[in-house]
Amino acid sequence: MNNQIVSYYSYVLIFSSILIIIGLVFGGFTPINEQVATPSYDLALPVSLSFSAFILLIIFIFSSIILWGSKSLASNLIIDSSALSFSILNYVNFYVIYEIWRPEIIPLPLFFYIHYSNINELTVDFGQIALIIFFYRLYKRNKSV
């Protein structure tokens, strides 16, 4: 790989770590009133992680819409870092949900099949979509250099 690609993606990893920290800080502002409905579980952690991941998803969507196709290094850094940071927090959130409730979670292409207590749900996995876009951009950047 080219040194330029390696240095760019090291900046992507650093900036995505910063975005994860910022997202987790905003997760503390989540209003949580679910303790009344489900007193046996503490939902503060999964709800705040979901909110943090949602903030990073919104950053990824808006930056992709506004900055896609830009030749600026900072614009591309924001798109790639927000995609990677959202994917990481998304999968950490699924792991926390699995550890709390122990549902059966089956990853499918672009979906998660979740079975818990006679309830079946097919959930869109936005983390996979963000990773596909991230790796597409990685491939495209590697091919152009």
Neighbours of 142 (CB within 10 A): 12
Q: Where do the H-state alpha helices sit in the chain?
A: 3-27, 44-67, 73-101, 126-144
Q: What is the residue range of 78's domain?
A: 3-103
Determine, yes or no, domain membership for 116.
no
Whether residue 39 lies inside any domain: the answer is: yes
pTM exceeds 0.95 for this model: no
Cβ-contact 87, 134 below 8 angstroms: yes
Domain membership of residue 114 (yes or no) is no
> Domain for residue 98, yes or no?
yes
Look at the chain and report how many structural domains it folds into: 1
| Residue pLDDT, tens place only, 80-138 | 999 999 999 999 999 998 998 889 999 999 999 999 888 899 999 999 999 999 999 98
